[in-house]
């Protein structure tokens, strides 16, 4: 009897809900300690306000944590911490709520897409309250822009970055069955003919094909990693990820071989289209390798050395950071980048020496090739190059654009990108409770030409609702006809 009673009590205890107030306070305090001990901003002369910003994020988060009673409060507390840092590489975020049973995906008969400065009906089903191309003005009496700001926070939305609106706009009109408490019930539309009408939303189960439409709404059609010639004389390079798995790494090896084999044709092509849609970053090496094969290793390396001539990279010397960076060496080597793996080992050694000497950081000077800084080294590639950009392009995706834009024959086409700060290389780990995730950058770029929070605007804005590859190729054809043959690159 006693044994059975004790077993029942133990089972009840294991099913008891966490003390979310205690969990939130402990995780928020742990996050602050880990950031203070490991983040390079604590010793960055170019960002002297970071310690105060971190303290303010901690205080705002802790205030919510003390009032927390459930998982929602825990989630909001971590988001407040992340909001205070406003950096896609530095965050704390809650994992899914334990035991949460999500409803079935639902849509109100249409999908939405952000274009320019507004939200539009992107695809309409039979029960859509408005046709394709209608501008969505407000929902539930609140303007769309304010709704997007209020419903997206923390890691998921940085409103100062233009590309973030393209990314998050479509999610405003996603729902579930049964509906969430705050699910939208009505919206007001400006129809293509100029009339304004309001309508109730009828939420229904989302067909699988419609979920893919949400992805197309913010980034269009994904081009697989590889090289193809979809039109005579127009070559398409798919760079959809800089975080490739084994299959993706094999695709990059084939892409490199294909570029090398077809380079003579690329030199005489009408256009080269580099497609970055769906690329949200990863390792800068993948984009750099492609650039060296296109424009030539010497031309790329010298231009990048000139671009980064004043840059120094400060790696925060801490035991945690050394452990994390050491763990990456094998992965870099496995990706076929032995030279770069050796360079990371040199950085690890420098961090260890700095830590032993009581120094806060190890300072690295980036260098490419033989280190020469000539900024206008010649290239034989004068083919017009169009780089398709999207709102989610950040981190290493931006690094690739930094490289591509060193050449005069490059135009960006698409959407404004997201941005990043100068804090980089941010491996993820678990918060002490196991209910959340933390990411802390290991290094900061000092004197980087592209400033913190600076993204890219397209040379050719593409605000059409149709973001298919065919639509982009048509627009590129029009630009080629308008500008005529491109001048030779130097």
Residue with the larger pLDDT of the pair 74 and 209 = 74
When mean pLDDT is compared across 87-96, 97-106, 263-272, 350-359, the lowest value belongs to 97-106
The residues with which 437 forms a beta bridge, in sequence order, are 93, 430
Evaluate if residue 486 carries a pLDDT over 70.
no
pLDDT at 1: 40
pLDDT (tens digit per residue) in 334-383? 878 888 899 899 999 999 999 999 999 999 988 776 666 666 789 999 99
The residues with which 107 forms a beta bridge, in sequence order, are 204
| Interval 394-404 mean pLDDT | 96
pLDDT band of residue 41 (cuts 50, 70, 90) is: very high
Distances (CA, A) of 350 to 12, 343, 354: 52, 11, 6
Evaluate if residue 158 carries a pLDDT over 90.
no
When mean pLDDT is compared across 150-164, 194-208, 377-391, the lowest value belongs to 150-164
Evaluate if residue 5 carries a pLDDT over 50.
no
pLDDT at 346: 94
| Interval 101-106 mean pLDDT | 86
Please work out, in degrees rounded to the nearest 5, the angle formed at the alpha carbon of residue 416 by the alpha carbons of 162 and 114.
65
221, exposed or middle or buried, with CB in 10 Å at 0-12, 13-18, 19+? Answer: middle
pLDDT (tens digit per residue) in 268-319? 999 999 999 999 999 999 999 999 999 999 999 999 999 999 999 999 999 9
Please report the beta strands in 257-375, taking only residues with DSSP state E, as ranges in sequence order: 271-275, 312-316, 361-364
pLDDT band of residue 100 (cuts 50, 70, 90) is: confident
CA–CA separation, 266 vs 295, rounded Å? 10
pLDDT band of residue 210 (cuts 50, 70, 90) is: confident
pLDDT at 375: 66
pTM of the predicted structure, to 2 decimals: 0.86
pLDDT at 371: 64
Top mean-pLDDT range of 84-93, 130-139, 424-433: 130-139
pLDDT at 154: 67
CA–CA separation, 461 vs 414, rounded Å? 5
pLDDT (tens digit per residue) in 247-282? 999 999 999 999 999 999 999 999 999 999 999 999
Quick one: tokens of 27?
């995780």
Quick one: tokens of 43?
């010793």
| Interval 42-57 mean pLDDT | 96
pLDDT (tens digit per residue) in 449-462? 999 999 999 999 99
Residue with the larger pLDDT of the pair 289 and 155 = 289
| Interval 214-236 mean pLDDT | 95
CA–CA separation, 396 vs 279, rounded Å? 9
pLDDT at 367: 75
What rounded mean pLDDT belongs to the chain?
A: 91
The residues with which 410 forms a beta bridge, in sequence order, are 385
Quick one: tokens of 370?
């033989």
Q: Which residues neighbour 409 within 8 Å (Cβ) at sequence distance 6 or greater? A: 381, 382, 383, 384, 385, 486, 489
| Interval 398-412 mean pLDDT | 97
Evaluate if residue 29 carries a pLDDT over 70.
yes
pLDDT at 170: 92
pLDDT at 479: 97
When mean pLDDT is compared across 93-102, 179-188, 195-204, 429-438, the lowest value belongs to 93-102
């Amino acid at each position: 009897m006693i044994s059975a009673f004790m077993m029942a009590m133990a089972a009840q205890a294991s099913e008891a809900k966490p003390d979310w107030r205690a969990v939130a306070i402990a995780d928020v305090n742990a996050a602050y300690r880990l950031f203070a001990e490991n983040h390079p901003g604590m010793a960055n002369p170019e960002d002297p306000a970071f310690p105060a910003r971190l303290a303010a994020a901690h205080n705002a988060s802790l205030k919510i944590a003390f009032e927390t009673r459930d998982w929602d409060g825990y989630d909001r507390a971590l988001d407040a911490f992340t909001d205070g840092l406003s950096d896609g590489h530095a965050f704390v975020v809650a994992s899914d709520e334990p035991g949460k049973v999500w409803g079935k995906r639902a849509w109100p008969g249409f999908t939405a897409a952000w274009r320019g400065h507004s939200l539009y009906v992107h695809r309409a089903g039979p029960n859509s309250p408005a046709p394709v191309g209608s501008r969505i003005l407000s929902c539930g009496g609140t303007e769309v822009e304010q709704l997007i700001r209020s419903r997206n926070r923390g890691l998921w939305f940085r409103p100062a970055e233009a590309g973030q609106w393209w990314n998050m706009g479509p999610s405003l009109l996603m729902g579930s069955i049964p509906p969430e408490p705050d699910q939208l019930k009505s919206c007001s539309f400006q129809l293509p003919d100029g009339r304004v009408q309001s309508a109730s939303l009828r939420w229904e189960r989302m067909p699988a094909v419609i979920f893919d439409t949400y992805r197309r709404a913010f980034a269009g059609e994904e081009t697989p990693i590889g090289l193809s010639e979809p039109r005579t004389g127009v070559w398409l390079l798919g760079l959809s990820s800089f975080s490739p798995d084994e299959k993706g790494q094999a695709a990059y090896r084939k892409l490199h071989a294909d570029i090398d084999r077809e380079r003579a044709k690329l030199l005489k092509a009408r256009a080269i289209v580099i497609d970055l849609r769906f690329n949200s970053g990863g390792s800068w090496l993948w984009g750099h390798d492609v650039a060296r094969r296109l424009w030539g290793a010497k031309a790329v390396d010298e231009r990048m050395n000139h671009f980064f001539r004043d840059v120094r990279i400060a790696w925060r010397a801490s035991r945690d950071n050394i452990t994390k960076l050491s763990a990456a060496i094998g992965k870099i080597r496995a990706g076929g980048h032995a030279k770069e793996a050796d360079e990371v080992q040199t950085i690890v050694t420098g961090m260890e020496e700095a830590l032993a000497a009581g120094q806060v950081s190890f300072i690295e000077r980036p260098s490419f090739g033989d280190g020469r800084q000539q900024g206008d080294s010649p290239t034989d590639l004068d083919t017009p190059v169009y780089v398709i950009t999207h709102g989610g392009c950040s981190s290493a995706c931006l690094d690739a654009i930094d490289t591509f834009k060193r050449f005069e024959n490059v135009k960006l086409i698409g959407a404004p990108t997201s941005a990043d700060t100068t804090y980089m290389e941010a491996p993820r780990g678990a918060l002490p409770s196991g209910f959340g995730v933390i990411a802390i950058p290991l290094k900061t770029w000092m004197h980087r030409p592209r400033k913190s929070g600076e993204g890219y605007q397209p040379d050719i804005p593409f605000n059409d609702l149709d973001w298919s590859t065919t639509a982009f190729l048509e627009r590129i054809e029009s630009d080629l006809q308008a500008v005529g043959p491109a001048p030779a690159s130097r």
